[in-house]
Chain A
Amino acid sequence: MTSGAALEVSGVSRAFGGVFAVRDANLSVAPGELRAVIGPNGAGKSTLFGLIGGQLAPDAGSVRLDDVRIDRLPPHRRARLGVGVVFQAARIFPGMTTLENVMAGAHATTHAGFLAAAFRLPSHRREEREIRDRAAECLRRTGIEDWAHRPAEELPLGQQRALQLARALCGRPRLLLLDEPASGLRTAERERLATLVEDLRGDGLTILLVEHDVAFVMRLADRVTVLDLGRVIADGTAAEIRADSRVVGAYLGTAA
């Protein structure tokens, strides 16, 4: 069965201690689409993010990346299949420079073998040079090239978020997952992030953006999926979502 979707989430459920965090969720993201997932606090956004990224396994249902089932794979296998993840929390490598952090993102794409690396064979040196160039380009794109040789843990929060994004891009993902990327950012940083996300979509990258800030996603996303109490309650373009009474109800706390 081929759906043609870049990401296909079908009937996915996940409960914690008998309480469903996500219940029978369906989501289909077309190649090159920028999809936002929004919802009030406790709607199951972070759980859904973890189910796609691999931090969580579903109790039921399936997750497919380009028609390949990934829902039972551990996170590192999903990364190798092309799922790039940017967490809200700064999951960086302290003790390494910013450039080294981003180069580590290319781990999923390295091919030169152990012996080639150990003996510094030409194939390995060429690959390393290529990764260094690619990492530098990712740093430039995310606007943190001035921090390249500083220890990553010294970066301010906004730059650590950018560093995670650069690291994910260095792994040449097919699907980019962003968990509340705008949270905690200042207005100027937020604008810069919005521009970058639009650029990446322009490159044809498929992006899934989980975000609490509705205004931020409404102007960026091709389509918006709304979660409430673990269920998908609406799915459509920004204009359709704005006009949807169930969404308004979920956000205002009135009965839908």
Chain B
Amino acid sequence: MSDFLGYLLTGLGIGAGYALVASGLVAIHRVTRVVNFAQGAFAVVAAMLTSSLLAAGLPHGFAELTGVLTAALAGLLVGLVAIGRPGTTPGTSLIITLGLGIFAYAIEIVIWGDQPRSFAGVPGVAVVGGARLQAHYLLILAVTVPVFLAMAAFFARTDVGKALSACASNPYAALVVGIDVRRMGLLAFALGGALGGLAGVLTTPVQQVTFDSDVTLLVNGFAAAILGGLTRPVVALGGGLLLGVAQTLIAGYGGSAYQLEVALVLMLAVMIVQASRRGAVPEPAR
């Protein structure tokens, strides 16, 4: 029983990382209709930069925050390239993000090399209800939960959040009421970058990062996001947590080699089922 509780909490911690990546994908897709294949790179850039800053002697907190803000800036840059030109279709933007995601490999290898990196998180072992797990997993949850609550409040209660939601609902109507849809799209990319970056800095102490870690994060994040058709953040959160727990349980009770396959099978199953109903990725309203 304590094994199970340990796996569950560990799985939630890993799933929180997927959920953050997924919610970044959802934030960008809702507002711009673009599936951002560079989403995993934000996590890698933030994690790598944080490891460098910590190695240079900068304090925890400051290093992680700098990593997340740099990822937000990277998100803004990806957005500028992908949707900056008026009239770029979401399909074209998707290919641009795919290209930028691969281009990021080159930059990451030049700056940080191709070896795995990590940095220390919360040290020690925590005991919860008889279950032993790395204490850092509790920090991941302690940060992720308030972030999701803050995002919910941001979208529901602030003018900017409402304007983002209006773009998500109908970009044509949003323009008519005076909302700068392009600027909101760039803001969504920056937000997506920050969320991806947060996933990177939170999970690196328990899962070291390499330049191509973005694939795992992206596949898992996308699998979680597609559950809600890339438009429902709450479903993406639930999907990410579920995926993390499922993978940890499978790894804990046997096949540790099959973690990524779990996400891929889930993602394909969801997409096939949804495609037969109404298209996995909904078309925008006009």
Q: Which residue of B lies closest to A167 (CB)?
A: B177
In the complex, whether B172 has a CB less than 8 A from a CB of chain A is: yes
Which listed segment binds B: A30-38, A108-116, A202-210, A214-222? Answer: A108-116
Map CB proximity to A onto B159-203 as digits: 1 under 8 Å, 0 otherwise.
110110110011011111111110000000000000000000000
B174 CB contacts on chain A under 8 angstroms: 76, 93, 104
B173 CB contacts on chain A under 8 angstroms: 91-93, 104
CB-based contact A112/B169 at 8 Å: no
Pick from B166, B175, B180: contact of A93, CB under 8 Å: B166
Q: Complex Cα distance A77/B177, Å?
A: 9
Q: Complex Cα distance A75/B178, Å?
A: 7
Pick from A53, A80, A92: contact of B170, CB under 8 Å: A92
Q: Complex Cα distance A81/B86, Å?
A: 21
Q: Complex Cα distance A118/B178, Å?
A: 20
Interface SS of chain B: helix, strand, loop or mixed? Answer: helix
CB-based contact B286/A108 at 8 Å: no
Within 8 A of B (CB), among A47-98: 53-54, 74-77, 79-80, 85, 87, 89, 91-96
Interface size, chain B (Cβ < 8 Å): 24
In the complex, whether A117 has a CB less than 8 A from a CB of chain B is: yes
A85-B157 contact in complex given A92-B170, A93-B169, A104-B166, C-beta closer than 8 Å: no
A94-B175 contact in complex given A104-B162, A114-B158, C-beta closer than 8 Å: no
Q: Complex Cα distance A89/B170, Å?
A: 13
Q: Which residue of B lies closest to A124 (CB)?
A: B159
Q: Complex Cα distance A95/B179, Å?
A: 18
A171-B169 contact in complex given A114-B158, A120-B157, C-beta closer than 8 Å: no
In the complex, whether A192 has a CB less than 8 A from a CB of chain B is: no
In the complex, whether A39 has a CB less than 8 A from a CB of chain B is: no
A76-B166 contact in complex given A89-B286, A112-B159, A117-B159, C-beta closer than 8 Å: no
Q: Which residues of A contact B (CB under 8 A)?
A: 53-54, 74-77, 79-80, 85, 87, 89, 91-96, 104-108, 110, 112, 114, 117-118, 120, 124, 167-168, 171
Give 5 CB contacts A-B under 8 Å. Answer: A76-B181, A93-B170, A96-B166, A108-B177, A167-B176
Q: Which residues of B contact A (CB under 8 A)?
A: 86, 154, 157-160, 162-163, 165-166, 169-170, 172-181, 285-286
